[in-house]
Amino acid sequence: MESEQFRWIGKSLSRVEDERLMRGAGRYIDDLEPFPGCKAAAIVRSPYAHAHIRHIDVEAALQVPGVVGVITGADVRREMRPFPVGVPAPIEYYPVALDKVRFVGEPVVVVVADSRYIAEDAAELVHVEYDPLPAVIGVEAAMQPESAVLHENVGSNIANHRIFSYGEWEQPLKEAPHIISARFEFPKTNATPIETYGVIADYAPGTNEYTVWANFHGPFTLHTVMAQALKIGTQQLRLCVPADIGGSYGIKSAVYPYITLIALASKLVGCPVRWIEDRIEHLKASSSGTDRVSYVTGALDENGRVLTLKLTQYDDVGAYIRAPEPATLYRTHGDTTGAYDIPALYMDNYAIMTNRLPTGLIRGYGGPQLYFTLERFMDIAAHRLGLDPTEIRRRNFIRPDQFPYRTLTGGLYDSGNYEAVLDKALELSDYRAFREEQQRSRNGTGQGQAGAINRPLQGIGMAAIVEPSGSNMGYLGVAFTAEERARQLPKSGCTAAAAVAIDALGGITVRIDTTPEGQGHETVVQQIVAEVLDVEPRSIRVIAEMDTATSPWSVASGSYSSRFAPAGSSAVYTAAMRVRRKLLHLAAEQLQVPAAALRLQAGRVYHGDKDTGLSIRRLAGLTHWSPTELPSDVEPGVYETSYYTIPTVTPPNEKDQVNSSATYGFLVDVVKVEINPEIAEIKVLDYITVHDAGRLLNPKLAHGQILGGLAHGLGSALFEEMVYDEEGQLLNGSFMDYLCPTVGEMPPVEIAHQETPSPLTPLGAKGLGEGNTMSAGAAIANAVADALGIEPTALPLSPTRVWDLLCQGNVGQPKREESHEAIRI
Amino acid sequence: MKPSAFDYIRVDTLDEALSVLADSDLEAKVLAGGQSLLPMLNMRLAQPKALVDINRLAALATLGRLEMNLAGVATQSPDTAFLEVGALVRQRQLERYALEEERTRLIHTALTYVGHPQTRNQGTVGGSLAHADPSAELPLLFLTLGGTAIIQSTRGERQVAAEEFFQSYFTTAIEPGEMLTKTLWRLPVPDEGMAFKEYRRRHGDFALLAAACTMKIGSDRKVQHVRLGLGGLADTPLLVDEVRESVGEHWAKERARAVAEAVVNRLDFADDYQASSSYRRQLASVLIATVLDAAYEDALAKEGKHGVDQG
């Protein structure tokens, strides 16, 4: 579709959701009362990171007035199977601990009572006897042979280990003129939505069916995981998701074990059960991103071209490698080499289990970890070679004429113009002027002098990253070897489903499968359908609720990996186009003119400039009210469904290559920082980010999404990390000490766009919103390195960490050589 | 995060409140702004059997100047003044009041660091002092300025000097059955220099370290009077003795660094994931020097003005 003709798509419409949310009329899970007689659950959780459960005594709890029942591991073991996991190793993960607890906060007992207050009173009276075991903390410690082992039947804490090699990776590491090695650490972070997990479950004994409401948002592969664990057929688990979810950023994907637990509780106590997670539970025991220790060695030629990369990555997936992990290592498989045309790669990937909170989806999902390593490496290489960091990127970027570009690892970059985005970012940030001023300042003030520096130090840094969107359901297959995959059913695709219906009085309704958590999908869907049918967007009712019994959906449904723009919108568009074709076909039959000569305008059918007298309402009405008068090839009613997948997300091949995402955007961040060396405080002076996400469906929403992703990235760069002691206790389990950036911490941000539409989606849109979460850590760390002449290798760059860096290095001695190459801008 | 069951008693007079507190069977805790207490209840860190809600006791919400000295003798001197702050005065109320004149400016500045405006709308001055968080701004300021706490019970009223009020983490001179009803704060004299500085990770966070300083210099530019308080370094806010050596001397930047050096050398600094002891030491050193110099600059500026006024 041509954008010049668009009336609604690409426009900054205000969100239709805001009206109800601003008035406090949103209906979140805790506002719903879908079942009468619902009781409340509270969960008794492990105080130990690693211990045998010797005995559980629930007698005193059962005596508390108002308690209706208690669920323990014995019940779960009897009624459930372990959740299927995404690796060959035989890890048994249940929603409660059975014989052992493996992380602080792990559920042990569920108490169901008339109210949450009473349930908590009773929970305090549950007595569990533990035999503590040594806690395993830290990936490198977990791999030592003398380390305690979390899962005895696995035998080690390595949940998954895979080696990949592509191209001539080894030779350059011996022969190239420049070999650079570094070690990096990325922290374990959370997503902290304002709304926590919520589950309301009801078991119907007459039909052996569960109906569960939860603020779950996919991927709906997990529906099959839940059904299998509950030992039921998938038709027996009706999962419903409210239209209003208070944020997620990936983290609510892991509500699924709680869904099964509360569903089972409902079955065993014989009444509906509600569980609303509180903040303490959420920070301690919901889910998190993985922390990663990575080692990178790269070889470069004399001109700064990267010849090969060797990456060893250790991801801590927590106490259980639960589905869909180790996706954190493989979501980015196709874009491992980022924006660069690198001819060879060796990857050694470990998913390690330790006695900490299990991991799962989170905004960025592997991207922040990968790009912190890759973009820091490029900066370190730049300085080793005496190149400006922007120059080394230019020399390695994929060129516009190389698109569509197939990466070593199987990624298919659909479109892009990387250098143009870089140029724009450098222009907006006045990069050249900053460098010139920096040069003058360093020459003039004799920064070569040793001794304490007590004036602020400024630096500028960049990151250039490929932002993948629309995950391929098959990418996790590379966690298995090709031989193992050959024995399984293949997996692929990024299917999205949508239905567009018009009722007897012309009311237009759309059902979507993207379970929004605040992204504004209802608004964009209105824009798309309004564009196709030429009606007012607000006249379209969008049903954002999901009901697995009645919605169109498939295993890839949900919102994650920013899939609404590439996949979700495509399904909506396609379904709407089917409705349009049906209406125009019907009109053409009535008017005896070719359908191609007709068009829709303001809800009416036009033949050229002439109003034909037919309207959408009239045509749709005819299909309902008088179906026998329809042409023989037209069915009654108007209800068109589209199940849409992008065909390029195919299964992994035997060489372990997989196109892990459907579409690939690109962004460049340029950040200026000022550091007060006396108190080691970093101030971000300004943050420029230029995005290419293909065609923007709604620039206002895109802007909000980018700011949110940037704030989240700023979090891991400067503030956020989950801190555990040697016994596995979470030390910062409240918002007092787990520091999310607030409005007060946001720097001035300028966002600009370039649109190179994707050739793969009907609207040319790519996903966005995770990009800066992936790039901010590297961009800020690169700026800090530029300011201090010291290389940061771990995040977050809290003042105490920066102080350590300052104490180790000798600030004022320029460790980094001056650029020999002029900056090309 | 739901509290365990408690009785809720809402009183209309101070006598009723004190009676409830005197009844040891009730095990009642005072509920004023609730900004510290209610989260503790929800997390079951505190499980009082009863809460006595004093929010209706208007008599505890008075806020105004008192012209008298510490001995309780009324004086005509315009220099000696106290601020009488009822325990129920909301932090935001004091913040707005303190903006009105120069002598209370330090109180205003410190209050802008206390949480967020929303929490200050509800939180009370008495509550913050009685809670005695070692990182909190109001205890630090009360100690640094000096003053008196008025504590009442069914047995009567007693007064405790600010220097004796804070005893340990979350522990004050208030005994079981007693309630803090008001505090008297010594107001700096008109030409007294003052400064407040705090290091914290984010806007609205608890202080990592905080310092408050008042300094009076004479027309001869010698220090007549100086008080320096530090917060976040120990189990209570601390008054720094080392500054007294500067009385009678000319101030200079080296003095600030010397005081800072002396103080950090005798203190122990906690080492945890938020900050290493090395970093805390550095912060303290910078903070002390900065706030002393700032108070001096402020005093200079005022002394010149005062001198002009007097001249």
pLDDT tens-digit series, residues A403-415: 999 999 999 999 9
Same domain flag for B265 and B244: yes
- Asked whether residue A294 carries a pLDDT value surpassing 60, the answer given is yes
Segment 266-285 of chain B within 8 Å of chain A by CB: 272-276, 278-279, 282-283
Confidence of residue B73 (pLDDT cuts 50, 70, 90): low
Mean pLDDT estimate for chain A: 95
Domain assignment of residue B287, yes or no: yes
In chain A, the residue whose alpha carbon lies closest to the alpha carbon of B5 is: A117
**How many Å lie between the alpha carbon of B289 and the closest alpha carbon of chain A?**
12
Which 8-state DSSP code applies to residue A565? Answer: I
Q: Which of B203, B205, B209, B282 to mutate to test the interface with A (most CBs of A within 10 A)?
A: B282
- Comparing B196 with A443, the larger pLDDT belongs to B196
Q: Bridge partners of A751?
A: A689
Q: Is there a contact between A742 and B5 if contact means CB atoms under 8 Å apart?
A: no
Give residue A443's pLDDT.
81
Looking up tokens 């050959």 gives A486
Q: What is the pTM of this model?
A: 0.95
Last-in-domain residue among B123, B153, B186: B186
Count of alpha carbons within 13 angstroms of residue A99, beta-carbon side: 5
> Is there a single domain that holds both residue B72 and residue B182?
yes
pLDDT above 90 (res A823): no
Q: Judge whether B1 lies within some domain.
A: no
Tell me what the mean pLDDT of segment A615-629 comes to: 97
Structure confidence at residue B310 (pLDDT): 46
Average pLDDT over residues A621-642: 96
Same domain, B19 and B114: no
Cα distance between residue A290 and residue A367, in whole Å: 11
pLDDT of residue A812: 45
Q: Are B221 and B119 in contact (CB under 8 A)?
A: no
Mark whether B40 and B63 lie in a shared domain.
no
Comparing C-alpha atoms, which of A560, A155, A92, A89 is closest to residue A351?
A: A89
Residues of B in contact with A736 (CB under 8 A): 205-206
- Distance from the B202 Cα atom to the nearest Cα atom in chain A, whole angstroms: 7
pLDDT band at A5 (very low <50, low <70, confident <90, very high): confident
Residue of chain B whose alpha carbon sits nearest to that of A721? B273
| Average pLDDT value for residue range A72-94 | 97
Q: Tell me how far apart the alpha carbons of residues A170 and A172 are, in angstroms, rounded to a whole number.
A: 6
pLDDT at position A689 over 80: yes
Residue after which a domain boundary falls, among B159, B186, B213: B186
Assigned domain for B2 exists? no
What is the rounded CA–CA span in Å between residue A281 and residue A254?
13
What pLDDT does A3 receive? 52
Q: Count how many domains chain B has.
A: 3
Residues B76 and B175 in one domain: yes
Average pLDDT, chain B: 93
Hunting for tokens 């090709």 — which residue is that? A482
Q: Specify the residue for token string 């009173």.
A: A121
**CATH number, position B86:** 3.30.465.10
- What's the CA gap between B82 and B93, in Å, rounded? 17
Chain A nearest-CA distance from B212, in A, is: 18
- The DSSP secondary structure of A242-277, one letter per residue, reads -S-----TTGGGGGHHHHHHHHHHHHHHTS-EEEE-
| C-alpha A29 chain-centroid distance | 22
Q: What does DSSP assign to residue B3?
A: P
Shared domain check, B142 and B74: yes
Task: Mark whether B120 and B74 lie in a shared domain.
Answer: yes
Nearest to A803 among B4, B202, B278 (CB): B278
CATH for B22:
3.30.43.10
The reply to whether residue A799 touches residue B275, judged by beta carbons under 8 angstroms, is: yes
pLDDT tens digits along A199-240: 999 999 999 999 999 999 999 999 999 999 999 999 999 999
| A392-440 tens-digit pLDDT | 999 999 999 999 999 999 999 999 999 999 999 999 999 999 999 999 8
What is the per-residue pLDDT for A578? 98
Of B287, B170, B280, nearest in space to B235 by CA: B170
Q: Which of A120, A680, A743 sits opposite B279 (nearest CB)?
A: A680
Q: What is the mean pLDDT of residues A364-370?
A: 98
Q: CA-nearest residue of chain A to B273?
A: A723
Among chain A residues, CA nearest to B271: A800
Distance from CA of B39 to the nearest CA of A (A): 11
Do residues A102 and A49 make contact, with C-beta atoms less than 8 angstroms apart? yes
**pLDDT over 90 percentage in chain B:** 85
Q: Say which of A745, A800, A807 has its CB closest to residue B274.
A: A800
Please tell me the distance in Å from A675's CA to the nearest CA on chain B: 14
Residue-wise pLDDT for B234-264, tens only, equals 999 999 999 998 999 999 889 999 999 999 9
Q: Tell me the pLDDT band of A299, cut-offs 50, 70 and 90.
A: very high
* pLDDT given at position A416: 96
Residue B38 lies in a domain: yes
Please list every residue in chain A whose beta carbon sits closer than 8 Å to the beta carbon of residue B204: 742, 744
ipTM for the whole complex: 0.92
* B118 lies within 8 A of chain A by CB: no
pLDDT of amino acid A120: 98
Residue B152 and residue B64 share a domain: yes
Q: Write the CB contacts of B265 (distance below 8 Å, at least 6 apart in sequence).
A: none
The boundaries of the domain holding residue B30 are 7-53
Contact A120 B278 (CB under 8 A): no
- pLDDT single digits (tens) A446-458: 544 334 456 789 9
**Residue in A closest to B199 by C-alpha:** A679
Mean pLDDT of A635-660: 98
Cβ neighbours around A615 below 10 Å, total? 18
Q: Do B74 and B166 belong together in one domain?
A: yes
Option in B2, B201, B275 nearest A116 (CB): B2
Q: Does any CB of chain A come closer than 8 Å to the CB of residue B44?
A: yes
B248: in domain: yes
- Amino acid identity of residue A756, one-letter, is T
Separation CA A511–CA A495 (nearest Å): 15
User: What is the Cα A506 distance to its own chain's centre?
Assistant: 38
Return the closest-CA partner of residue A590 out of A574, A614, A609.
A614
Sole residue written with tokens 């374990």: A188
Q: Is A804 on the interface with B (CB under 8 A)?
A: yes
pLDDT class of B305 with cuts at 50, 70, 90: low
Residues B180 and B265 in one domain: no
In chain A, residues with a C-beta closer than 8 Å to the C-beta of B257 are none
- State whether residue B117 sits within 8 Å of chain A by CB: no
A18: pLDDT strictly greater than 50: yes
* Confidence tier at A821 by pLDDT (50, 70, 90): very low
- Residue B304 vs residues B80, B100, B104, B310: alpha-carbon distances, Å: 21, 22, 20, 10
* Cα A675 from Cα A801, distance rounded (Å): 13
Residue B80: the pLDDT is 77
End-of-domain residue from the set B170, B186, B202: B186
Say whether residue B49 is in contact with chain A using an 8 A CB cutoff: no
Look at A799 and B202 and tell me if their CB atoms are within 8 Å: no
Residue B289 inside a domain? The answer is yes
Chain B residue at shortest CA distance from A277: B1
**Residues B46 and B164 occupy one common structural domain:** no
Chain A, 104-163: which have a CB under 8 Å from a chain B CB? 116-117, 120-121, 124
pLDDT digits (tens, 9 = 90+) for B287-303: 999 999 999 999 999 87
Least CA distance to B279: which residue of chain A?
Answer: A800
Chain A residues whose beta carbon lies within 8 Å of the beta carbon of residue B279: 680, 799-800, 803-804
Strand partners, A413: A405
- Assess A678–B contact: CB distance below 8 Å, yes or no: yes
Structure tokens at A461: 């840094």
Chain A nearest-CA distance from B46, in A, is 14
Q: Identify whether B30 is part of a domain.
A: yes
Q: Looking at residue B228, which CATH number applies to its domain? A: 3.30.390.50
User: What are the distances in angstroms from CA B45 to CA B4, B36, B41?
Assistant: 10, 11, 6
B178 and B67 co-located in one domain: yes
CA-CA distance, A99 to A76, in Å (whole number)? 11
pLDDT at position A121 over 60: yes
